[in-house]
Amino acid sequence: MFPKYKGLAGKTAVVTGGSGVLCQSMAKELARQGMQIAILNRNQEKGQKVADEINQLGGTAMALSCDVLDNESVKHAYLVIQREFGECDLLINGAGGNHPDAVTDKEIFERGDFENASLKSFFDLELQGFDHVFQLNLVGSLISTQIFAKGMTQKGGTVINISSMSAPAPMTKVPAYSAAKAGIDNLTKWLAVHFAEVGIRVNAIAPGFFLTEQNRGLLLKEDGALSERAEKIIQHTPQRRFGQPEDLLGTLLWLADEQSSRFVTGITVPVDGGFMAYSGV
């Protein structure tokens, strides 16, 4: 159980992609801290389930169907939230993900790969899939920040983006996702500088390797054993385990609370069990 941060109580948090494993854990903890929570999801039903859980526990939450790539959809969500909860104080840009058309089958290209018609190499990646990943991870965060941070310019506020282990050192097989998350780190710094004088702090959290619905098929075999890729991850994580959603919450609360991190802006905080610190030897 985390201590209560009095500075968060009564304020409004907007969480895009709020039904995901990691973001719903964040939303529930922020609600426990006394914040009003708006869950933004393309799938209204999934978002509503999270909001219902928060409300049943005595918190205050709503769920809205919202496509972060549709300017009008985000504007509509903003107007509803403003009417019901007031201006946004904390924006978590959690919507993101990958796409099969932007993933290679092998980690390393070899000359003989051209002879295997069933193998998807770098040269077979589809621009549509690559663009989708960039749009969802980078442009979606941009649009949401443009709309929700506008009200923050009058009173201050906090934006937290979601980065990745793949931003500083790109993971194999996922070039689009890696490049998009590197863009998130860069955009976080740019926004932090741009908004510093109006009291908006912008930071990012880079989760290490957590089991989620999106990556479960890559990290676990059908029998529940670790895949070869997962074995590599664990071997390169000094704490020798995957992260659990609650492992992110201490960092989240620190960055969200104005009194705790008021001189912190423009950084990406890894929460990774030591993954980025380990050279492999």
pLDDT tens digits for 104-128?
999 999 999 999 999 999 999 999 9
Does residue 144 register a pLDDT over 90? yes
Helix (H, G, I), strand (E, B) or coil at 21: helix
- What value, to the nearest 5°, has the Cα angle with vertex 34 and ends 50 and 65? 30
Does residue 224 register a pLDDT over 90? no
d(CA 184, CA 141): 8
Percent over 90 (pLDDT), the chain? 92
Does residue 221 register a pLDDT over 90? no
Amino acid at position 214, single letter: Q
Cβ–Cβ under 8 Å, residues 225 and 184: no
- Model's pTM, two decimal places? 0.95
pLDDT value at residue 177: 96
d(CA 177, CA 12): 30
The CATH number of 6-208+243-275, from 3.10.105.10, 3.40.50.720, 3.90.1150.10, 3.30.540.10, is 3.40.50.720
32 Cβ neighbours under 8 A, 6+ residues apart: 57, 59
Does residue 216 register a pLDDT over 90? no
Ramachandran angles phi, psi of 269, nearest 5°: -100, 115
- Active-site option among 5, 78, 177, 278: 177
Dump pLDDT digits (tens) for 7-37. 999 999 999 999 999 999 999 999 999 999 9
177 is catalytic: yes
Summarize the confidence of residues 46-74 as an average pLDDT. Answer: 97
